[in-house]
Structure formats: structure tokens, C-alpha cells
Amino acid sequence: MISFGCPDRTGIVARISTFLADFGGWIVEAGYHTDLETGWFFTRQEVRADSLPFGIDELRERFAAVAEEFGGESSWRVSDTGERRRVVALVSKDGHCLHDLLGRISSGELEVDLRAVIGNHPDLGPITEAHGVPFHHVPFGKAPEEKADAFGQVQKLVDEHDPDAIVLARFMQILPPELCEEWAGRALNIHHSFLPSFAGARPYHQAYDRGVKLIGATCHYVTAELDAGPIVEQDVIRVDHTDDVADMVRKGRDIEKLVLARGLRAHLEDRVLVHNRRTVVF
């Protein structure tokens, strides 16, 4: 799989297609998009590995030369979709998102290697270990130095697996800026509202107070700006005047699970291209 972004100009598609065709590359899926406001071009190409006369390392080396032709601003990635992706999940007490991910993984619907689950409470340890996944409990104190120490432990546990995705499955802790930077483009959060509406804490209570008729969930990349990272996936569900906060929480959990699963899949399949604060999802 090749993903590529650069300032738009004529000939980009032709150059990439010719590059692949010259080596017998068989394109099985291709997506293209230009953001007319920024003038930025995006593409994602899936190529049959057995159609090329060399492996992925050489493909990266050869494509790097092509990318250079379009300037130093260009960004690109070449990955092997046959490689099983590594994931680490961060959780708290609410288990609906973790339960859903564990079910999808155990059924083969989501083919990933869930290396570990790390919780700031021990509640989700039994269900995690029942699925054969290691669980680590890292308690978080209230004092700043205690939180800093806890995040240091979390970082060590995460980084030893070098995961392709760090999933904040209702982790309910704000990552410090240095971790946001270290895990940029890999840390995915599920927020229980349709961002940018009702960011921050207690979004269902905010929605109830405003009498909204739609509530939603957002899967986004984590940045130092709270609940403001590039959005990967969203969805909504209808509510009405008969629903109280508990009803909204119950209905919202269904959407949270779907949105997180879809967002994680898109990320792991390298379908998400980020430019500035916006995403293109092929």
C-alpha cells in the first residue's frame, strides 16, 4: 500500500501509475482527492505484492525517489497490508468499547495483535485476561507528581510493544503534551460526542441541558489540544425529549463502539491521510 500527499499539480497520478506499471505493479484499489482550499493532493494505492519483482524495502527505496520529485513538503508511506498490526489499549472503568474490540478481535472480524491493555483501574483486568491478553494496572494519583509517574509507567508499557495504534478506549485521562507528540498519528481517542460540539467532560449532560435531538461519537487522533485532534470517524443517533441523561449514555455507547471500531480499522489499513487539522479517509 502506498499513500502519498503533496502540493497539487498536473502529472502526479500519471507519474505514480507509470512508476508502478514499469515494474508490473498491479493496482487493485486507488483513491484520489485534492483539497481545493489548500491545494493539497492525496492518494492511496493498493498494489498486489506478488506483481512486483522486489520486496517492500526496495519498493520504499524506489518510491522515495519518486516522492522527492514533488518537493520536500510531500509526505508518503509504504506499508505491507499483510503484516498483522500491533495495538495497545488504554482503559479506565467503562468497558463497553474494550468489550466490543475484544469481541471483534476474537471473532476474526478485526485482525490485529492486541499486545496489552493498560488500565488506571483494575476493573477490566478479568475480561482482558479471559481473552488471553495481558492486563496492566497503573494507578493514577491526584497529585501532579503521581500522575507524571503513572504516565511514565504507561509510556514504558506501551513503547515496549512499538504499537501501530494506541487506542484510548474511554481511558478518561488527558495525555501529557510530550506523550501526544511521541505518539502523534498513532494515538486514537473515542470521544462521546459529535465534535466539535460538547468537548471536554460530561458531554451527555451538556447535550441533555441543550435539548439536542442528535448525539454522537467521534474517533480522532490525540493532540495536546483537548478533543481537537484530526477527526477519523463520526456517527450519530437520534434522541428526543423523553430521553434523560441515562438514556443518552446508553444509546451513545452503541455509537461509541461502532465509531471506534471503524476508526481503528481505517487507521490500521492506512486509509487516513492527515494534512494540518483535517483528514482524508479513503
Instruction: List residues with catalytic annotation.
Output: 227
The DSSP-derived string for 27-61 is EEEEEEEEETTTTEEEEEEEE-GGGSSS-HHHHHH
In degrees, rounded to 5, the angle at the alpha carbon of residue 153 between the alpha carbons of residues 147 and 157 is: 140
Number of Cβ within a 10 Å radius of residue 218: 28
Q: What is the DSSP letter of 186?
A: T
Report d(CA 103, CA 130) in Å as an integer.
11
Report d(CA 253, CA 270) in Å as an integer.
26
Kind and range of the H or E run holding 265: helix 245-268
Report d(CA 67, CA 73) in Å as an integer.
10
